[in-house]
Amino acid sequence: MKRVMTRKQVMLVVTVGIGAGILVAATMTALDWRLNPGGIFYDEKGTSWRVVLATARSWFLPVTLAVSAILAALIVLFGRAR
């Protein structure tokens, strides 16, 4: 049975997916913290780290999975075109 992707391609997909997830999650979480909608991120008592972590996680997981899936599909499709 022929492999769909090489080990190098799988590592590329994982690395790019995680990198994009971290970049988007950090950016969006920082923007949300700065805007502080409804005062949920911080108040006079300080930063609510639970909300910050939940926001980062809610961006990281979907972005990582989506970018990885799209990149893997492109690699497979263009790999078969050769």
What the block records as the tokens of 30 is 């920082």
* Per-residue pLDDT at 25: 98
pTM score, whole prediction: 0.87
* Per-residue pLDDT at 59: 98
* Per-residue pLDDT at 2: 78
* Per-residue pLDDT at 1: 72
User: Residue ranges of the chain with pLDDT lower than 50?
Assistant: none
Q: How far is C-alpha 4 from the chain's CA centre?
A: 24
Q: Where are the domains of the chain?
A: 7-81
From the list 28, 16, 35, 19, the residue with the least C-alpha distance to 56 is 28
